[in-house]
Amino acid sequence: MEKKRTPRHVAIIMDGNGRWAQARGLDRTEGHAEGARAVRDAVETAARIGIEYLTLYAFSNANWQRPRAEVEALMRLLVDFARRERAELRAQGIRTVVIGQLEELPTATRQAVEDLMAYTADGQQMTLSLALSYGGRQDIVEAARALAVRARAGLVLPEEIDVDFFHREMSTSRLPDVDLLIRTGGETRVSDFLLFEAAYAELCFLDLMWPDFRPATLVECVERYGAKERRFGRTSAQVQSASGRAFDPIDQGL
Name the catalytic one among 27, 63, 115, 192: 63
61 among known catalytic residues:
no
In this structure, are residues 134 and 98 in contact, taking their beta carbons and an 8 Å threshold?
no
Provide DSSP, 2-70: -GGGS-SEEEEE---HHHHHHTTT--HHHHHHHHHHHHHHHHHHHHHTT-SEEEEEEEEGGGGGS-HHH
Name the catalytic one among 15, 139, 177, 179: 15
Residue 232: how many other CB atoms lie within 10 Å: 14
15 among known catalytic residues:
yes
Residue type, position 148, single letter: A
Q: Where are the beta strands (DSSP E) in 48-105?
A: 53-60, 94-100
Strands ordered across the beta sheet of 9-13: 94-100, 126-134, 53-60, 9-13, 180-183, 202-205
Annotated catalytic residues are 15, 63
